[in-house]
Structure 1
Amino acid sequence: MAEFVDWADWPLLEVRTGDLSAHEARTVVAQALRQALDRGEPFAAVVEIPQVPVRRPRMRGTVEHVRLVKELRPGLAERCRGLVVVMPAHALHDNTKTIRAGAKIWGCPTFAVDDLARARAWARDQLSASASVPPRAASRRIHG
């Protein structure tokens, strides 16, 4: 997992799923978020998902994924100041409904964008804002 997760800018965590399958990518992201929560301090995460199928069948492990998100949600609500997903523009469009439900799904503010620099800037802004104000769950989607 180490090759997919970058802790160098902690409390900003970056996860790059690269060419992993959807199931493998979910596992890597979940493990990284769990490790971030185990650190016991506020953080923000940038998750890069470069390969998102346009039309995908029901993915293997969906029930397991839902269970995992439910397990992570309380910790994310407490410690995650922002979770931003970077994906291709077509995937932003194809996943609009899920993106809008991001904060409800994950329990923390979420954002989806097709530009890594904007994702990092948003995550850093969330960390800065949280220093004085508690996190507010909100989801946004912006095309580059």
Structure 2
Amino acid sequence: PGIYYRSELDHNGISVYTGTIISDWGGRLELEIDRKARIWARVSRKQKISILVLLSAMGLNLKEILYNVCYPEIFLSFLNDKDKKILGSKENAIMEFYQQFACVGGDPVFSESLCKELKKKFFQQKC
């Protein structure tokens, strides 16, 4: 358990900074800062999502996120119109998260069962 930091070169030879948070029960979340200073959360080895979408899906709104970071202008610099719409509500962020990581097909509709499924898959203790 703990927080681990490292710097690696990507396939283009550019430094990418990562931090891994490992909980007591073995859950793992990897954060990555790319060359454009965007922060991503890797939920699996191949898939990543904007840290803003992840935090919004966990219940924080954009105002709360920006209030609690040291350099809010960094977060604001890479927000596009799609991200602003997603961050407009917790439900939109959960839907985006679900579509990227858990949706097998179709067009999901927000529901409590969808929230429970995501919580079980990504945020609850495995053992």
The structure with more radius of gyration: 2
TM score, norm. by length of structure 2: 0.28
TM score, norm. by length of structure 1: 0.26
Q: Which of the pair has the greater relative contact order for Cα pairs under 8 Å at 6+ separation? A: 1
